[in-house]
Amino acid sequence: MKLPAALFFLMMILNGSVLPGNAAAPGSPFVRQKMLTVPADSSQQDYILRRNRITSLIRHGEFEEAVSQCDAALQTAQKNSKHVFTALKAEAFYYKKDINGARILMRSVLKMNPGYIDVNRKPKNGSIHTAEFLDRFFYSPKYPLKVLLIGDSLVAGSLRRKIFATKKSHQGVSWTVNAKTSSGLTRPDFHDWPAIAEKVLSGKKFKALFILLGTNDAQDFRSGKKRIYFYGKPDWFEKYEERVKTFLDTVSPYVMNVYWIGLPPMKYAHFNTKMAKFNVMYETACGRKANAVFIGTKDIYSDKNGKYAQFLPRNGKQLRTRENDGIHVTDAGMGFLVDRIYENLNRDFFLRDE
């Protein structure tokens, strides 16, 4: 099975080349002509006309109309022809510079028709090898998904270590970790996370951001040495919610998705109550932001009764998941959270299967 030579043009775009604002798109690198058999549910003439009309629209830079025509075709297409129009729609999305939208569509194409791309095909006549196409189209070791993780001591210790310890199993992700012990959002005089995170994000093209903060935030707000909002008072919570919102507003434009990791259950009841209130504020703030996701951890680190658990079962063994202070998570315990992190990344992005 051969891929068209026009796939070369896709490689140019995936390498960072950008089409001029009103330039026409080249060819149809997403559609393999050999796969365009006439579907049983429509006449040969209708099928060819639809396909050629959409291809022409893409070649002439009419991407919005191409998407509309693809949607119309998909309304009446049967299962054995949907992958063709979905691939054309993916091409239009790509040239509209909606790269992740194109990835979503192409992933569905491969699910509808696994044989659509032959990964074992050998390069011929100067064309791009199909495996190289997959490497560039889906995140892979050669073209990784760039992710930033920020937080306090929960990140600085065991989560950082566990993330990097599992890199060999997730080579399609490139991690940058920026952590500061004793930090949070309450004391920007000590560590100003919105300013620091924005500086880091603006210097590198990250696709995703993970945040784990809060264990140090149950304290009064200060202005210099003066305490201006006292923890536990209604105006304190209003101020903190405002800071969480401002933080999300600051960082969200730099990435496709922001993931706020919830605080795990705490051993001591009074501290657990405080952290649970923080989780409610984080989840609420994420719910109001289109590209923000709250990742709960209560179910991960609780026993069958929903209570704090020092030990949890994994692979037939009881693992110690929490440190003696009842706050921090052991390296073994962080394995549960890392699994959830990758569940979210695999759902929202497209990592090449390792």
Residue 5, classed as helix, strand or coil, is coil
Structure tokens at 242: 């405002």
The predicted pLDDT at position 100 comes to 73
Taking 60 as the threshold, does the pLDDT of residue 37 lie above it?
Answer: no
Taking 90 as the threshold, does the pLDDT of residue 98 lie above it?
Answer: no
Percent of the chain with pLDDT over 70: 80
Q: Give the pLDDT mean for 276-291.
A: 97
Residue partners of 289: CB distance under 8 A and separation at least 6: 248, 252, 258
The predicted pLDDT at position 13 comes to 39
Q: Residue 251's CB: how many other CB atoms inside 10 A?
A: 22
Taking 90 as the threshold, does the pLDDT of residue 326 lie above it?
Answer: yes
Between 122 and 341, residue with greater pLDDT:
341
Between 28 and 19, residue with greater pLDDT:
28
Q: What is the CATH code for 145-348?
A: 3.40.50.1110
The predicted pLDDT at position 158 comes to 97
Amino acid at 113: N
Between 4 and 176, residue with greater pLDDT:
176
Between 159 and 30, residue with greater pLDDT:
159
Q: Which of 80-84, 116-120, 154-158, 317-321 has the lowest mean pLDDT?
A: 116-120
The predicted pLDDT at position 1 comes to 38
Percent of the chain with pLDDT over 90: 56
Please give the C-alpha separations between residue 160 and each of 63, 149, 153, 256, 259, in angstroms, as whole numbers.
43, 9, 10, 22, 16
Cα 191–Cα 272–Cα 208 angle in degrees, nearest 5? 50
SS3 track for 272-332: HHHHHHHHHHHHHHHHCCCCEEEECCCCCCECCCCCECCEEEECCEEEECECCCCCCECHH
Q: Give the pLDDT mean for 317-346.
A: 96
Cα 109–Cα 206–Cα 66 angle in degrees, nearest 5? 35
Identify the DSSP state of 114.
G
Alpha helices in 7-116 (DSSP H): 7-14, 44-59, 63-76, 79-95, 99-112
Please give the C-alpha separations between residue 162 and each of 126, 210, 344, in angstroms, as whole numbers.
42, 15, 17
Q: Listing from the earlier edge strand, what are the strands of the sheet with 208-212?
A: 173-179, 145-151, 208-212, 257-261, 292-295
How far, in Å, CA of 54 to CA of 67, rounded?
8
Q: Give the pLDDT mean for 318-337.
A: 97
Taking 70 as the threshold, does the pLDDT of residue 7 lie above it?
Answer: no
Domain boundaries, the chain: 7-137, 145-348
